[in-house]
Amino acid sequence: MSTTPTVVLVHGAFADAASWSGVIEELQSHGVPVIAPPNPLRGLASDAAYVASVASQIDGPVVLVGHSYGGALITVAGTTENVVGLVYVAAYALEEGESLGELQGRFPLSPLVSNLKQWTYPVPGGEPAVEVTIAEDAFPSVFAADVPAEVTKILAAAQRPLAAAAFEEAASAAAWKTKPSWALVAGADNAINPEVERFGAKRAGATIVEIEGASHAVAVSQPKAVAELIRDAVRATG
């Protein structure tokens, strides 16, 4: 059993685990064990159950890190026994019984909402379900305004869609009530209103760091700063 917590990085919608590459490199260079599993992006309950199953199979303590929608997942999955801390990176920190739509609805909508493109995908034995991506021409300004243009073109092409139903599912638990939490607020986020990030983090009693001018893709643009906050959590819980 390791006493240094293993960091589990949970990506959000419109991204994949590669979005953590810079953060992983930073953590590994400091000897922090880390994995970045794929997030199914099919629904809050099922995705959180997947993250919880990953965490529970790790020997020793775990710090869960969630970006964006991933924050909602670690809020639920964080109740897993060996999870010792939560880190929110430009993320949603939900209350028990609250949905993404409810939390967002308390604040002015971000530019993301008017730039979503709908697709459908097959569901066994049922009607096709709806999933969403960010319109490619809007992706740079909405998701990654502080990332080089040549990188955002690749990110836009490789984005992973989120099931639309995920916006309406309520969180079955709020792990921040019993586990310590940290939060990074991206001050220039156009995907999630920074006020949503601040509100959730403050309500959770998180240790908060804010980066002015940071886009939603802060883990890509400023991996050192993100990794430093995660290392704070690892040091505090290890």
Q: How far is Cα 85 from Cα 233, in angstroms, rounded to an integer?
A: 7
pTM of the model: 0.98
Give pLDDT, residue 196.
Answer: 98
CB 95, CB 76: distance < 8 Å: no
Please spell the DSSP secondary structure of 171-230, one letter per residue.
PS--GGGTS-EEEEEETT-SSS-HHHHHHHHHHTT-EEEEETT--TTHHHH-HHHHHHHH
Q: What is the pLDDT along the chain (238 residues), one digit of tens a residue?
A: 558 999 999 999 999 999 999 999 999 999 999 999 999 999 999 999 999 999 999 999 999 999 999 999 999 999 999 999 999 999 999 999 999 999 999 999 999 999 999 999 999 999 999 999 999 999 999 999 999 999 999 999 999 999 999 999 999 999 999 999 999 999 999 999 999 999 999 999 999 999 999 999 999 999 999 999 999 999 999 9
pLDDT at 2: 58
Interhelix angle 21-29/223-237, rounded to 10 degrees, is 50
What is the predicted pLDDT for the residue at 3?
Answer: 87
